[in-house]
């Protein structure tokens, strides 16, 4: 039971749980936006009272494609919000962080991996580092 408790209290499990709860709440908000605001707006432009009632019947089976369009619209809005409010800012932030080279590392001349500046040899290919090569010459 102790190991299970440690697993549950690790940071990434708690973060994931919070993300799921926030995501569920956000989905409810987006669904309400589509159902209560965008659907009537689209229906007003199309001169129909509500496009969620759009359907057709084949052999007695009713296909509610208007309801599907509402769900698709909800998904597209949620995906767009996540992309523009989370993914793009994070990509921008990561790009600005990556532009600054790490002053504590250098590139290995042989395999191009990052190694500490103080290292005499690369830990990946065992080639002498630039510092060690220039010190021996």
CA distance 48 to 68: 17
Which residue has tokens 């209560």? 36
Run of H or E including 57: strand 56-58
For the chain, the farthest-separated pair of C-alpha atoms sits apart, in whole angstroms, at 88
Three-state secondary-structure class, residue 80:
helix
Which has more pLDDT, 70 or 137? 70
CATH topology of domain 2-98: 1.10.1200
Confidence tier at 131 by pLDDT (50, 70, 90): low
pLDDT higher than threshold 50 for residue 133: no
Which of residues 48 and 103 earns the better pLDDT score? 103
If you average pLDDT over residues 62-67, what whole number do you get?
A: 86
Residue pLDDT, tens place only, 6-18: 777 776 777 788 8
Per-residue pLDDT at 101 exceeds 80:
no
Give per-residue pLDDT as tens, 81-93. Answer: 888 888 898 888 8
d(CA 68, CA 75): 10
pTM (whole model) above 0.85: no
What's the DSSP call for residue 129? P
Contact 112, 105 (CB under 8 A): no
pLDDT on residue 19: 84
């Amino acid at each position: 039971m102790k190991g299970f408790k440690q697993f549950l209290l690790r940071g990434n499990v708690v973060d994931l749980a919070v993300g799921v709860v926030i995501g569920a709440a956000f989905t409810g908000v987006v669904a309400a936006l589509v159902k209560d605001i965008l659907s009537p707006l689209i229906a007003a432009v199309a001169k129909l009272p509500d496009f969620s009632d759009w359907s057709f019947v084949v052999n007695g089976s009713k296909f509610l494609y208007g309801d599907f369009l509402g769900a698709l619209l909800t998904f597209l809005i949620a995906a767009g919000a996540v992309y523009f409010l989370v993914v793009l800012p994070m990509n921008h932030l990561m790009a600005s962080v990556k532009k600054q080279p790490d002053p504590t590392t250098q590139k290995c001349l042989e395999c191009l991996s990052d190694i500490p500046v103080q290292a005499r040899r690369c830990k990946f290919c065992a080639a002498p580092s630039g510092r060690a090569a220039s010190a021996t010459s």
